[in-house]
A and B are shown apart, each in its own frame.
Chain A
Amino acid sequence: QQQVKQSPQSLIVQKGGISIINCAYENTAFDYFPWYQQFPGKGPALLIAIRPDVSEKKEGRFTISFNKSAKQFSLHIMDSQPGDSATYFCAATNNNNDMRFGAGTRLTVKP
């Protein structure tokens, strides 16, 4: 069932540090890889996404690195802030509209 494997399950980072979350997928038909951010009591919201034709995408402090041959992608949060504390989900989908999510990473950024 879990076609996208995510690690670590939880992560604690000091303010100003770099948070790194990793994901691996199995289905080579996936062609869109978004990351969702979920705060307590809220639904997940799209943070950043990448397609396999590029190896990196950066939006502000958030960067996705993508390795197509290894079927892996990761989220890097630079200069992590306490407000970044949330649960992060990687996901993968294709034109079947079937979005598969990882198990989530609970990030805590300590002040």
Chain B
Amino acid sequence: EAGVTQSPTHLIKTRGQQATLRCSPISGHTSVYWYQQALGLGLQFLLWYDEGEERNRGNFPPRFSGRQFPNYSSELNVNALELEDSALYLCASSVGQVNTGELFFGEGSRLTVL
């Protein structure tokens, strides 16, 4: 069974540009989560999508947005890129509530903003 897949693996952008990251959850998983992993800050919760709807978002500015498609895949958009957006962006999926199961993570998309 395929795990969570993310693309691209690496992405280099310049300040002010837009970045789009994509995620395909494990088959049968309806919830998709996005986390930012910046050096020394652990995993910061960005967004949670379930059944095509945004269910919760972390403490990030509105230029971080995304959506979930009918096939449950998801994309994360970061507009007006800033240098501090450079990080590893991790997508995870789950079936049901995370306090009864686990999050399955992809290997991440490394975004570098120059």
Contact = CB atoms under 8 A, between A and B. Distances in A.
Contact of B102 (A2, A31, A46, A96): A46
Nearest to B41: A103
Contacts, number: 67
B33 interface: yes
A44 B42 contact: no
Interface-centre pick from A44, A89, A95, A102 (highest chain B CB count, 10 A): A44
A94 B42 contact: no
B74 to A, nearest CB: 15
A1 B40 CA distance: 14
Interface in B82-114: 90, 92, 94, 97-100, 102-108
Interface residues of A, number: 28
A66 B66 CA distance: 36
A42 interface: yes
Given A31-B99, A44-B90, A1 B42 contact: no
Given A31-B99, A94-B99, A97-B31, A103 B42 contact: yes
Contact of B42 (A45, A89, A95): A89
B103 A99 contact: yes
B105 A44 contact: yes
B43 A89 contact: yes
A103 B40 contact: yes
Interface of A: 1-2, 6, 9, 31-32, 34, 36, 41-46, 49, 89, 93-104
